[in-house]
């Protein structure tokens, strides 16, 4: 495995615009995080970051696949883009176009182009169709295995692909079936779950438009949202203020130790401080799961328990905030995955059909299933 690829193993990366990167260097330094610079000017920012002493991994995502004027995979890739990244000492990502449903020719073209370049990663911006059925997803993994190149997947959806049970289940199967390393770009907190389930690396975006790949027809990028660690989800600042005010009995759950909040609840933040808070807390969660010597099963178990506890806190909020629902991705992670190391209640039988209760303080109750909903509420 290429050294630049190996160093990404288990990393949670920050996906941002080049102009924003310099403001995030302190967060990166605190957690040893790398950066995914996004846009055609990405390579121009690399030299500046290196001159400022940033020595962590940098990836450059050309983003030709996004927006209303997106390029399709059939347009091919530019060898010069990969050469430029390699000259900068980076692991090169292909500047692939969007892979629409049934575009097997485009898929093979991208994989073949990556295979012809030294240690390149094939960027695969995929329609949800590729994960719509077991045979299609299996054939996708087989094609990747046949070419033997690492891939960086970007999954399109009008809200959140990992909030749809069917898509999440298929994607986890895909991670298990792929022999080459799989990186996942443009994620939200699900990036941590994907790392726990076998993704080589994953990137969390600094804003909604970089946490998702919306269809060309448009998506639902929201206003300024903030990540609430105990809820394991993003919520708009005005929503957070309402929740914090109405839940005085659990106010200790909202205090945040990050350098931005300094043991206060994450409210009253502006866009810049909200981003730094979000990233610090998500990277801290990743650090908790990966800095300890945990087995793969223990990491999956810890992630499942984290989702379970967050679901319990959401249900507490729902008791006082009318219409409150758990985000779709949190429900999906809890329902689609199983705890590989379930904790049974002492004195209870371990056999039978009942599912063992997981988590602590009653947090293992199965969440009710609802329809898909955006994470940024």
Task: Encode pLDDT of 20-63 as tens digits.
Answer: 999 999 999 999 999 999 999 999 999 999 999 999 999 999 99
Q: What residue ranges of the chain are covered by domains with CATH 3.20.20.105? A: 3-210
What is the pLDDT confidence band of residue 266, given thresholds at 50, 70 and 90? very high
pLDDT > 60? residue 349:
no
Q: Which two tokens stand for residue 199?
A: 């993704």
3-210 carries CATH number 3.30.160.160: no
- Stretch 102-130: mean pLDDT, rounded? 97
Scored b (16 or more CB within 10 A) or e, 170-199 reads bbbebbebbebbbbbbbbbbbbbbbbbbbb
As a whole number, the mean pLDDT across the chain is 90
pLDDT over 60 (residue 209)? yes
DSSP 82-129: HHHHHHTTPPPBP---BB-TT-HHHHHHHHHHHHTSTT-BEEEEE-GG
Question: Among 312, 325, 326, 334, which Cα is nearest to 250's?
Answer: 312
Section 72-95 average pLDDT = 96
Cα distance between residue 323 and residue 71, in whole Å: 40
The pLDDT score that the predictor gives to residue 319 is: 95
Residue 360's SS3 state is: coil
What is the band of 78 on the pLDDT scale with cuts at 50, 70, 90?
very high
Q: What would the mean pLDDT of 202-220 be, rounded to a whole number?
A: 90
Unique residue bearing structure tokens 């790949």:
213
pLDDT value at 365 more than 60? no
Average pLDDT of the segment spanning 142-151: 98
- The tokens describing 201, both together, are 């690396």
Between CA 214 and CA 158 the distance in angstroms is 5
What's the rounded mean pLDDT across residues 238-256? 95
Q: What pLDDT score was predicted for residue 48?
A: 94
pLDDT at 119 over 70: yes
Model confidence at 100: pLDDT above 60: yes
Q: What is the pLDDT of residue 287?
A: 96
Alpha-carbon distance of 345 to 23, in angstroms, equals 47
């Amino acid at each position: 495995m290429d050294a630049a690829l190996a160093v990404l193993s288990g990393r949670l990366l920050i996906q941002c615009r080049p102009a924003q990167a310099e403001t995030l260097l302190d967060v990166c330094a605190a957690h040893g995080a790398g950066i995914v610079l996004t846009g055609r000017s990405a390579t121009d920012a690399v030299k500046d970051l290196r001159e400022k002493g940033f020595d962590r991994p940098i990836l450059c995502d050309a983003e030709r696949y996004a927006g209303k004027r997106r390029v399709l995979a059939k347009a091919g890739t530019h060898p010069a883009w990969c050469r430029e990244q390699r000259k900068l000492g980076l692991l090169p990502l292909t500047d692939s176009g969007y892979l629409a449903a049934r575009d097997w020719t485009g898929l093979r073209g991208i994989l073949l182009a990556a295979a012809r370049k030294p240690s390149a990663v094939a960027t695969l911006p995929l329609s949800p169709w590729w994960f719509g059925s077991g045979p299609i997803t299996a054939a996708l993994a087989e094609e990747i295995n046949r070419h033997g190149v690492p891939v960086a997947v970007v999954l399109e959806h009008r809200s959140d692909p990992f909030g749809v049970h069917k898509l999440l289940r298929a994607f986890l199967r895909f991670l298990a079936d792929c022999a080459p390393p799989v990186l996942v770009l443009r994620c939200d907190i699900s990036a941590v779950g994907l790392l726990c389930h076998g993704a080589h690396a994953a990137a969390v975006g600094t804003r909604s438009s970089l946490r998702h790949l919306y269809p060309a027809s448009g998506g639902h990028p929201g206003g300024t949202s903030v990540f609430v660690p105990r809820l394991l989800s993003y919520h708009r600042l005005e929503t957070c203020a309402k929740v914090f005010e109405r839940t005085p009995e659990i106010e200790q759950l909202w205090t945040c130790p990050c350098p931005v909040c300094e043991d206060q609840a994450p409210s009253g933040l502006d866009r810049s401080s909200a981003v730094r808070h979000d990233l610090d807390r998500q990277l801290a969660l990743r650090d908790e799961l990966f800095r300890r010597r945990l087995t793969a099963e223990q990491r999956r178990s810890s992630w499942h328990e984290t989702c379970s506890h967050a679901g319990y806190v959401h249900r507490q909020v729902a008791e006082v905030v009318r219409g409150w629902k758990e985000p779709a991705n949190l429900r999906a992670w809890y329902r689609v995955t199983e705890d590989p190391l379930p904790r049974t209640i002492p004195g209870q039988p371990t056999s039978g059909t009942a599912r063992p209760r997981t988590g602590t303080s009653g947090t293992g109750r199965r969440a009710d299933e609802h329809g898909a909903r955006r994470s940024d509420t």
